[in-house]
Amino acid sequence: MTKTILVAYRSHYGSSRRYAGWLAERLHCPAVEWDQVRPEALAGVQTLVLVGGVYAGCWSCASGVKKRAAQLAGKEVVACFCGLTPREEVDLNALKGQDLPSGAAAFWLPGDFDFAALGLVHKGLIRLARRDLLGVAVRRADEGELAPVLAYLQGAGAQR
Ligand SMILES: Cc1cc2nc3c(=O)[nH]c(=O)nc-3n(C[C@H](O)[C@H](O)[C@H](O)COP(=O)(O)O)c2cc1C
């Protein structure tokens, strides 16, 4: 039986939005901003894929998950964390600790970063906490990175 899937995203600088768009294309489902998803739209969904950026260790979709905990009960949730940290250094279990429903699947997606394009607050944070990133611009978001997420969603195995 085909699952009803919704992809929702929260993105400041575009990487999570691009991943959400690629997923929606491949899964033939909508991709919408997580803040815009109304309870009635969520009601008919079996699988919710959330794609959000990680900023100072915090996942952009986390607060929405907490607020909507009752609406998410009984649904399959797939969390995609998008960030700059090299995959081998990422602690997915720690990220999953951010208010995700138990049993949610979690995946890491490499994101782009461009210091020059950051908003003032984010520039300030980077100046304070990550001086190594001053002036840095890297492009890491790539559709191919979604292979494990698609394999999981299409039932070919739960690679995390
Ligand atoms: C203020 C700030 C803090 C960040 N903190 C982290 C972090 O803790 N871990 C990480 O992997 N990436 C971090 N990043 C990089 C972003 O996660 C990365 O740029 C990602 O692509 C952002 O997603 P978006 O393009 O959907 O907004 C940070 C970026 C900014 C601007």
CATH number, position 53: 3.40.50.360
Q: In this predicted model, what pLDDT tens digit does every residue of 28-53 receive, in sequence order?
A: 999 999 999 999 999 999 999 999 99
Residue 160 lies in a domain: no
Distance CA 77, CA 150 (A): 14
Residue 94 lies in a domain: yes
Taking residue 139's Cβ as centre, other Cβ atoms within 10 Å add up to: 11
Confidence at residue 32, expressed as pLDDT on a 0 to 100 scale = 97
Q: In this predicted model, what pLDDT tens digit does every residue of 92-129 receive, in sequence order?
A: 999 999 889 889 999 999 999 999 999 999 999 999 99
Ligand 1 binding pocket includes 64 (Cβ within 6 Å): no
Ligand 1 binding pocket includes 56 (Cβ within 6 Å): yes
Look at residue 80 and tell me whether its pLDDT is greater than 60: yes
Distance CA 23, CA 110 (A): 15
State which residues form the domain around 106.
Answer: 5-112+143-153
Query: Can you give the pTM of this predicted structure?
Result: 0.95
Domain total in the chain: 1
What mean pLDDT do residues 49-70 have? 95
- Between the CA of 74 and the centroid of ligand 1 the distance, in Å, is 30
**Any residues with CB less than 8 A from the CB of 69 and at least 6 apart, and which?**
99, 101
Look at residue 159 and tell me whether its pLDDT is greater than 70: no
Ligand 1 binding pocket includes 71 (Cβ within 6 Å): no
- Between the CA of 90 and the centroid of ligand 1 the distance, in Å, is 13
Instruction: Find, among 160, 137, 17, 8, the residue nearest to 87 by Cα.
Output: 160
Token pair in block for residue 128: 């304070």
